[in-house]
């Protein structure tokens, strides 16, 4: 049951990355692809009906983590207190930027909130990548099972790591490029006019950046987390995940060349999903690896009792089905294309 819930938590977080990933990408890029107030408003309208709903998956993942792996929840949230507070502020700032930009009829007011929206979106993508890098790399867990990481130490992969080191920064940059590419593909088929043209051109450039950062991140992960190579040798089926990453990136390039940007967007989603799966595969059977492997938090030690996990399925599965139904309802009712000529602003 512990492994089953490990997969479910990973699934929730993966859905969050795929769905909130494209609107983080739109936020990061909208000042680059939009050259006027109307174009910026159109970019925001393209994610307006779904951006807050997409964040539900992050809340669901955190809530599921709370009851399925309470020990992990307690140790990770105390050890990562500083970055979690930073993420909370960035989420708040991003939401305020979307909701407040249209409240005052002033170009300066809207531009200020647009800059805040872009900055918070890019910073969130970076810090989510850094958080993933910390989990994959391992944290300085001690004999008592607790840890606290400062923002940085010497930026090296030693026993006393900080939140930021050369590896986690690399993963953060890879997250920014990957989500920016994902967002560019969304704009490439969801918004018309010059925004669409610029988004398509930018998506091509970001594809190469994503390939480069992915290759660098993969090579660095083999150094930072030797368990990845061990798991690949022990469970060869896990190699399907990195192969899916390669296939998703390749398919997104192929479909973009064919001007099939909707298909390219879904191929990018497959790449992101496989990337998250690869990260989970790299650390399993630990849910919180330690720099000293003796102190890593094993999945069985972190999980709730099996009876609790089994009973939770009776309410968790219906809740998940209702959530999926809601998202299908919302996404199938989005306009096929958001037009720059539309007068609506929010």
* pLDDT reported for residue 346: 46
How many whole angstroms separate alpha carbon 213 and alpha carbon 112? 31
* pLDDT reported for residue 142: 80
* pLDDT reported for residue 127: 93
How many whole angstroms separate alpha carbon 186 and alpha carbon 338? 11
Q: What is the pLDDT along the chain (346 residues), one digit of tens a residue?
A: 888 999 999 999 999 999 999 999 999 999 999 998 899 999 999 998 899 899 999 999 988 988 899 888 888 888 888 888 889 999 999 999 998 988 888 889 999 999 999 999 999 999 999 999 988 888 888 887 788 888 877 887 777 788 899 999 999 999 999 999 999 999 999 999 999 999 999 999 999 999 999 999 989 988 887 777 677 766 776 778 888 999 999 999 999 999 999 999 999 999 999 999 888 888 888 888 888 778 888 898 888 898 889 998 999 999 999 999 999 999 999 998 998 877 554 4
What separation in angstroms does the CA of 100 have from each of 52, 89, 113, 257? Answer: 14, 16, 7, 38
What is the length of the chain?
346
Beta carbons within 8 Å of 27's beta carbon, 6+ residues apart? 47, 94, 117, 118, 120, 121, 122, 183
Beta carbons within 8 Å of 122's beta carbon, 6+ residues apart? 24, 27, 28, 176, 180
pTM confidence score: 0.92
pLDDT digits 0-9 by tens, 268-312: 999 999 999 888 888 888 888 888 778 888 898 888 898 889 998
> HSE on the CB side for 292, CA within 13 Å?
12
- Helix ranges, 225-239 (H): 227-234
Q: May I ask the CATH class of domain 2-316?
A: mainly alpha
Residue 66: its H or E element: helix 56-68
* pLDDT reported for residue 343: 56
Cα 179-185-189 angle, rounded to 5 deg: 150
* pLDDT reported for residue 57: 92
What values do phi and psi take at 163, rounded to 5? -60, -40
- DSSP, collapsed to helix, strand or coil, labels residue 147 as coil
* pLDDT reported for residue 195: 93
* pLDDT reported for residue 345: 47
Tokens of 82: 């500083």
């Amino acid at each position: 049951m512990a492994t089953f819930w490990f997969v479910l938590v990973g699934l929730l977080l993966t859905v969050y990355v795929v769905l909130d990933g494209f609107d983080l990408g739109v936020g990061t890029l909208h000042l680059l692809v939009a050259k006027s107030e109307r174009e910026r408003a159109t970019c925001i309208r393209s994610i307006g009906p779904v951006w807050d709903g997409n964040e539900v998956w992050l809340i669901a993942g955190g809530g599921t983590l709370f009851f399925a792996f309470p020990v992990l929840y307690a140790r990770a949230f105390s050890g990562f207190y500083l970055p979690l507070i930073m993420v909370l502020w960035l989420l708040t700032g991003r939401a305020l930027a979307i909701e407040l930009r249209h409240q005052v009829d002033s170009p300066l007011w809207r531009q200020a909130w647009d800059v805040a929206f872009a900055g918070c979106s890019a910073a969130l993508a970076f810090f989510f990548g850094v958080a993933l890098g910390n989990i994959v790399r391992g944290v300085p867990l001690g004999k008592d099972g607790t840890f606290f990481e400062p923002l940085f130490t010497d930026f090296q992969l030693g026993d006393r790591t900080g939140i930021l080191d050369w590896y986690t920064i690399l993963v953060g940059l890879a997250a920014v490029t990957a989500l920016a590419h994902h967002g560019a593909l969304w704009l490439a088929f969801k918004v018309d006019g010059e925004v669409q043209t610029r988004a398509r051109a930018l998506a091509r450039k970001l594809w190469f950046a994503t390939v480069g950062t992915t290759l660098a991140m993969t090579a660095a992960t083999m150094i930072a987390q030797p368990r990845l190579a061990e798991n690949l040798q022990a469970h060869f089926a896990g190699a399907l995940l990195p192969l899916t990453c390669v296939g998703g990136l390749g398919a997104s390039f192929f479909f973009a060349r064919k001007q099939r940007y909707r298909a390219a967007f879904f191929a990018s989603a497959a790449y992101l999903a496989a990337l998250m799966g690869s990260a989970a595969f790299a650390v399993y059977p630990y849910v919180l690896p330690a720099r000293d492997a003796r102190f890593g938090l094993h999945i069985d030690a972190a999980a709730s009792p099996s009876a609790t996990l089994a009973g939770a399925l009776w309410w968790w599965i219906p809740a998940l089905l209702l959530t999926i139904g809601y998202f299908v309802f919302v996404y199938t009712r989005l306009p096929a294309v958001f037009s720059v000529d539309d007068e609506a602003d929010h």
